[in-house]
Structure 1
């Protein structure tokens, strides 16, 4: 009866996870989806706690308390601007748990002499993918947090070295499956997985972090699947498969949004500094034209339609609440205000949507690229806040540009553009932006939060 009850609980959890995943596809149902997922996880944990394989609860209680102590601050105190690195950090914790389970199960089977070839295969994949995800996620966290350089770090023959290391790990995996009790190859797999995770993210530029975080999420899911097979646990297999598949699909969607392949993301070292042009000038020789806050406020106040394009700079400045106040002021004057959200704006999928929604901006005003691109030609002013590559016309006009072919927002079609930018330097990817030197564009330099607040003050006086 206990076994039947556990399996029924797992089935209920799996159903809740599937429904939660579907609900997360729409902003209006995302909160409910998270609640269903949390409840499904609670059911799965409770079912596992009554499993007959558990002989002692002391360490489980310690783990629950420790997890709560760590998890509550991560969930409640980390600002939305730091959510990408928090997600990467969480991936590392999940993968670490899977790796520890794999090591523990292998040592248990080794001591009891019960290792089979099938179980060893599952455990090998588990520790390889798990250790890879741990170090890869920590590297991604370091780059997003600014602890590590955001630009790619490369060396001669790097791709060949990485592939050779991966091949050695795969060969060790095959050998361990053939000889399950050879601890040496088990340790080789663990060490190589750890190194591959570091070397895989090292050459990735900050502009590609959304894809990498999604890909690491997929790896964590696959590690959970392997854990499920090793432990003969159905819910781990189902949840891991959902996680792995969704992470892979999301990675594909993000790559498509940047018009790049997985191979180019993983091996292209995109985001390196490009040289040859002076700071503040583009390859076409144009110059950025500055504008003062009072002039920009007049232009906004007497517009009929304004489209705001948020980017990572808005998140860094934590200016989402000032943006909402600015939009409210413009709407009180009868201005039609909407927001254009690019699929890869920010540092993770949905970053801008979550950030603006947290500030109280209605979901109906957050328009996806496909919905908003035809509206730019009717906009009197487009206010670009901290966005760069997603509004760069070079993606369509410059075949030599690394971002050529990337879908962009049609900001250049607007009647005028005001760009909020901290300085005259290049964006995160290191690619010059032709929009910034366009005759339509004016640059309002300074901290985005202060600039937007100043715009609000000036609009009140118009």
Structure 2
């Protein structure tokens, strides 16, 4: 594109491009900062999108790679697909969409590294550091690509959410990773050996599959966050390969943010990242619920009875979970909350860090129904308030309110911080059945004396409660 610019400007073009890259980086960082709060998240996305737009435009001045027809065509097609997905994909399917985005991001980075290497007539002209980053870019990008699509399959249900493993799998995975790193070292000293390059690519694709398959469904949110970090690191590696500072910085930002989020989620589950990757914990939530042997009492409630309880309460806390998202019940929940507030009831929402299938899932879901941001309290904020709460409505949540996390050292979720809903005067659990959650264990909260079960689809149950409130 530089051939279209005045000749007097050309000497200053490289420095100008780097300055504009710095401006784009500012938009990325500002966007990440604004994503910290649901109230500013939309603006944060807009800042980041503007930064990416600036980066794409200025790169046209920096790199003469393909013709404008291909670039414009790619932008139009990608933009159209993005717009359709933004409108059509339901909130319940957002984790799957994020997994796909991670996969495409990793795959694109691997292709960039491979493309830069393959276009050279003499690969030995590449510096050792460029060869190392090429190998790492292919390794991390390819691993992210296949791993993300395995995660997508587990979330979507056409791959079992149970941990799929066999003896020695962890040893094979670790051995394969070490082998790839050794091969990258060999490739750095002998880049003319194309066979080694393809072995690196093949092993990396395989590692992505074998490293995600043994991870159970309960840990998929952590895996998605980790793969998101991988995609950023792969992009950063690709930036080193092609010498693009903006790609290096933006990839590093994504990689760091993903690792921080992964660490936060592991703390919220009281588990180490090593345990998540190698522990084979959690699976499908379709198992039979304990307590069906008749030795535990379940107390059911009705819409009419519950309407009286909440209408005359002083404070009601709502603890949402994935069941709320599946039923798409956030809008009718807002109507129920609004009617309670009109009666003078104080309504708040307790959000567990890993409620749903990805971080922030519940926040976005409730924001979609225009629930006020100041009513959304995280776990540390809401837990002290349960002791002064009259009724807690647990809607579609399970493991994040399971008291065995505090009482049974032998439980797989022991030590996991939970919403202390059992401290409230009354809990009401909205659930289809007594089946366990992703952890695959029974929840004694269901049988507690001060708990009541409201069986059925969350949306239909809330609609019945909403109608019953009209008669109280």
Q: TM-score range by the shorter chain?
A: over 0.9
User: Any residues of structure 2 matched to 1:55-454 within 5 Å, and which?
Assistant: 56-110=67-121, 114-272=125-283, 279-281=289-291, 286-454=296-464
SS at match of 2:39: helix
How far apart in 2 are the matches of 1:342 and 1:61? 43
Aligned length: 461
How far apart in 2 are the matches of 1:421 and 1:89? 30
CA contact (8 A) 1:308 1:337 kept: yes
CA contact (8 A) 1:153 1:204 kept: yes
1:18 aligns with 2:29: yes
CA contact (8 A) 2:285 2:438 kept: no
How far apart in 2 are the matches of 1:52 and 1:246? 28
How far apart in 2 are the matches of 1:422 and 1:288? 14
2:4 aligned partner:
none
CA contact (8 A) 1:304 1:334 kept: yes
How far apart in 1 are the matches of 2:48 and 2:288? 50
Larger displacement relative to structure 2 (264-273 or 312-321): 264-273
CA contact (8 A) 2:353 2:359 kept: yes
Using the TM superposition, give the Cα deviation of residue 248 of structure 1 relative to its aligned residue in structure 2, in angstroms: 0.4
How far apart in 2 are the matches of 1:214 and 1:110? 38
Give the ranges of 4+ consecutive aligned residues of structure 1 lying more than 6 Å apart after TM superposition: none
Larger displacement relative to structure 2 (379-388 or 25-34): 25-34
How far apart in 1 are the matches of 2:361 and 2:138? 31
Q: Which runs of 5+ in 2 are unaligned?
A: 1-11
How far apart in 2 are the matches of 1:96 and 1:112? 22
1:459 aligned partner:
469
How far apart in 2 are the matches of 1:240 and 1:281? 49
- How has the CA–CA distance of structure 1 residues 299 and 39 changed in structure 2, closer, same or farther, with 3 Å as cutoff? same
Normalised TM-score (structure 2): 0.94
- How has the CA–CA distance of structure 1 residues 267 and 112 changed in structure 2, closer, same or farther, with 3 Å as cutoff? closer
Over the residues paired in the alignment, what is the CA RMSD in angstroms?
1.9
Larger displacement relative to structure 2 (277-286 or 18-27): 277-286
Q: Which runs of 5+ in 1 are unaligned?
A: none
Using the TM superposition, give the Cα deviation of residue 335 of structure 1 relative to its aligned residue in structure 2, in angstroms: 1.1
- How has the CA–CA distance of structure 1 residues 365 and 282 changed in structure 2, closer, same or farther, with 3 Å as cutoff? farther
Normalised TM-score (structure 1): 0.96
Larger displacement relative to structure 2 (323-332 or 19-28): 19-28
How far apart in 1 are the matches of 2:199 and 2:433? 48
- How has the CA–CA distance of structure 1 residues 70 and 410 changed in structure 2, closer, same or farther, with 3 Å as cutoff? same
1:51 aligned partner:
62
- How has the CA–CA distance of structure 1 residues 55 and 255 changed in structure 2, closer, same or farther, with 3 Å as cutoff? closer
